[in-house]
Structure 1
Amino acid sequence: MIRFETIVEKVKQNHPGVDEDLLRRAYLFSAREHRGQIRKSGEPYLVHPLEVANILAELKLDPICVATGLLHDIVEDTKIPLEVIEEYFGPEIAHLVDGLTKISKLDHASHEERQALNMRKMLLAMVDDVRVVLIKLADRLHNMRTLEYLPGEKRRRIAQETLDVYAPISHRLGMSRVRGELEDLAFRYLEPEEYFKLKELVESRRKRLESYLEEVKHRITEMMAESDIRIVYIEGRMKRLYSIYQKLKRQRITIDQVYDLIAVRIITESVKDCYAALGVIHHAWKPVPTRFKDWIAIPRENFYQSLHTSVVGEGGQPLEVQIRTQEMHLIAEEGIAAHWKYKEGRRGSHTDEDEAFVWLKRLVEWQQEVKDSREFLDSLKLDLYPKEVYCFTPKGKVIELPRGATPI
């Protein structure tokens, strides 16, 4: 079980002036109220709020958020009313706990209606305070990590909901690390045969590919030093299983034809160094046509910025290269959890001028008009994976147009 002191240390690293007393009171209150409760895994229930708080601390979220993680199930799973939470911990934490309780309370409805209702509630919660959804994502992530202890049918239902609702939301908030783990865990329980078959294919190549990545990282380090390009660090990774699975199905190819099965991330000190590094990479290795994307010049709606290119490396091995600054990398991994700023005495509500939430306001307006659950979910998935169209004027101005736009 994660130690409470470990969580406090993680919070202090990112919030030096943290009110440790608040966190300790939340921990002791949670321990007292959940005493005697046992999870399906056989562990004390307290393990769950501790793990949720730990995920939030790792996302570098504020102490109020972490304290709420420790308390998030109190109203739903014990006899403690919301008024007591407010009395002990103040209106801000009570407000967040209330938002989480409302998301959890779903009416008896069809599968699609339940999913649509869940999504509507989360969208409305995000308009009010995005931290409600960040805590809910941490809650779902830990529940997915321990899903094996639930009965088969319930496992499938929760995994499907995770894939249909929680993974898209985390993607839309730019939280690639959380999204990737949620998708892989859901994939494991929804398509176990395909999951373990693909895992075996990847594992049989892992040792060779990881060794290759180390060689590539060493070579890139040398090339960047020779060109006086300031690099913070270089890391390698293998593509996540669910992402590979989707690509194999969509493109009807074999695993050896996946160009981004392995990737190198080059983290630089400046945007100038990003483009300079790209030039060095393309000079050293042959780029794959149509595989270059400049998300720095034209960022995605979820704040993501990076240069992506695929090259044919040493020995004919395909390799994806991602190049971005440290700040871009933090946002790429943690999304809005890294982007969002909280001011003392102010909730995480959004102003009308906040461009980052224009998409959310559109969805909320739409969900208030649409009554059919399937239509709402379909429209949501379209909006969560936008295909923007960009055109360039003769003077070089970039104009963003909606999907399906055509010239007149």
Structure 2
Amino acid sequence: MADDYRVILVKLADRLHNMRTLQFMPERKRKTIAAETLVVFAQLAHRLGVWLFKTELEDLSFKYLYPTEFQRLDKLLSMRRAQYTSTLAAATHDFSEILRRDKMFKEHNIKLEITGREKGMYSLWEKMRRKTKYKNNIDNIDDIIALRVVLDIQQLAGESDEDFANRGAGYCYHALTLVRKLPNWSGGDSLKNYIAFPKPNGYQSLHVTFIHHDAPVPLEIQIRTRQMHEVAEYGMAAHWIYKDEQRGDGEQKKSKMRSRRVAWLESLADKDGDLRKDAQQFVEEVLRDELGRRCFVFLRDGTILNLSRGCTALDAAFKIHSEVGLHMQHAVINDKKVPPFYQLQNGDRVNIVTSDDAAPPREWLAYAFLRSTRNKLAAHFRRTKKEKERAVDLAAALATAATAAAAIPLVH
């Protein structure tokens, strides 16, 4: 299983290297590759929990797919970056002081690593799009900047993995208690407890938001152990870091093995790193097999549709919404009017023109590439047939009633 994860990591790294040189390709090719990256590779990294790749894959895709929005957000962040930097510096100093002075951490030889980070631009843009309260005020977002507190804890001789994990969680809660006591920082009441309730991809951490009295910029504090941090950075591959450790191995030997494996993972994301030729060839074969069956097209609002290769404009209409498909008049692809049976190509710009009076003819069943499209059309035709039959039955009943009424003599 670890080998499978390493193969996937090599694929992610290869795509990341390609994205870093995307500016040298024609615009249409850039958009197609960026769409594939955002929909397939970034999602794969997300599901595996590999934040080491996910954020950069998303941000590079964002830059090429939505350049106007990217530049606008970049400008907003640049205007605030000095404030973010000073807030992170003050937080690093204050939180380091109280944690490093703690008597229990000293006695138990707990090492601390404290680093700051800025939220990924695509993730930030998505949050602003999804939630109305963030649309016009970036300053309302409480996790644009964060301070990560990573606790290095040594596993005791004879200590089970479960006990070790529980002890690490206990130190995290102790650190949370300490940082809540800082005098110049307010907040700290709303806790997101991903240690007690991990995310589906295994992510664990304590998240809590503070605001410094002299700089009202929200700051998220993330507290986790080294093991939790490696799962956060490398996802499922983190289990491979600790794989094959023997109970009898000394801590020094275990540490060397972990260091080598962490170095290998980090080298994949190295800007100057170079994949082995055979690994590149393998990746290209996999990509041809997997992505050769997909087609990525763009709607007018920038939404990406991930369709099967061979899909038609009609399939895209039903993918958007059943009502769009049922009221489709025609499609406009790359600014040209096309019929419903037009076969979509990677990177096409798609606009479906609808009308309330439009209705699909039965021959459209032959234009549908996707089974789901054919099923929706068939269901519509069955429904309209029943409605017509009911209308005919109702007309006949009304006619019969009218005839019967006419036969009844009037009473004077």
Q: TM-score, normalised by structure 1?
A: 0.51
Task: Report deviation, 1:340.
Answer: 2.3
Is 1:138 equivalent to 2:16 in the alignment? no
After superposition, residues 4-403 of structure 1 pair within 5 angstroms as 129-228=4-103, 229=105, 230-252=110-132, 253=134, 254-269=137-152, 270-284=168-182, 285-287=185-187, 291-315=190-214, 316-340=216-240, 373=308
Distance 1:311 1:343 in 2: 40
Classify the secondary structure of the residue corresponding to 2:150.
strand
Given residue 119 of structure 2, which amino acid in structure 1 is its aligned partner?
A: K
Percent identity (aligned): 43
Classify the secondary structure of the residue corresponding to 1:335.
helix
Unaligned runs of 5+ in 1: 1-125, 345-371, 379-408
Given residue 39 of structure 2, which amino acid in structure 1 is its aligned partner?
A: D
CA pair 180-234 structure 1, distance change in 2 beyond 3 A = same
Distance 2:75 2:144 in 1: 14
Distance 1:136 1:232 in 2: 33
Given residue 27 of structure 2, which amino acid in structure 1 is its aligned partner?
A: G
Classify the secondary structure of the residue corresponding to 1:235.
strand
Task: Report deviation, 1:246.
Answer: 1.1
CA pair 277-145 structure 1, distance change in 2 beyond 3 A = same
Distance 1:176 1:217 in 2: 22
Distance 2:9 2:95 in 1: 36
| Number of corresponding residues | 224
1:287-345 per-position Cα deviation (integer Å, ceiling 9, x unaligned): 366x421111222222211111112233232110100011111221111232226679x
Distance 1:213 1:320 in 2: 10
Task: Report deviation, 1:264.
Answer: 0.5
1:23-67 per-position Cα deviation (integer Å, ceiling 9, x unaligned): xxxxxxxxxxxxxxxxxxxxxxxxxxxxxxxxxxxxxxxxxxxxx
Q: Who is 1:110 aligned against?
A: none
1:44-95 per-position Cα deviation (integer Å, ceiling 9, x unaligned): xxxxxxxxxxxxxxxxxxxxxxxxxxxxxxxxxxxxxxxxxxxxxxxxxxxx
Q: Who is 2:292 aligned against?
A: none
Distance 1:263 1:305 in 2: 15
Distance 1:226 1:130 in 2: 40
1:210-250 per-position Cα deviation (integer Å, ceiling 9, x unaligned): 12211111011111134334442111111111111111111
Distance 2:240 2:199 in 1: 17
Q: Who is 1:23 aligned against?
A: none
Given residue 201 of structure 2, which amino acid in structure 1 is its aligned partner?
A: N
Unaligned runs of 5+ in 2: 153-167, 246-306, 309-314, 321-412
CA pair 338-127 structure 1, distance change in 2 beyond 3 A = closer
Decide whether the 8 Å contact of 1:231 with 1:266 is kept in 2. Answer: no
Classify the secondary structure of the residue corresponding to 2:200.
coil
Distance 1:128 1:227 in 2: 41
The structure with more radius of gyration: 2
Greater share of residues in strand: 2
CA pair 128-248 structure 1, distance change in 2 beyond 3 A = same
Moved >4 Å (runs of 4+) = 341-344, 372-375
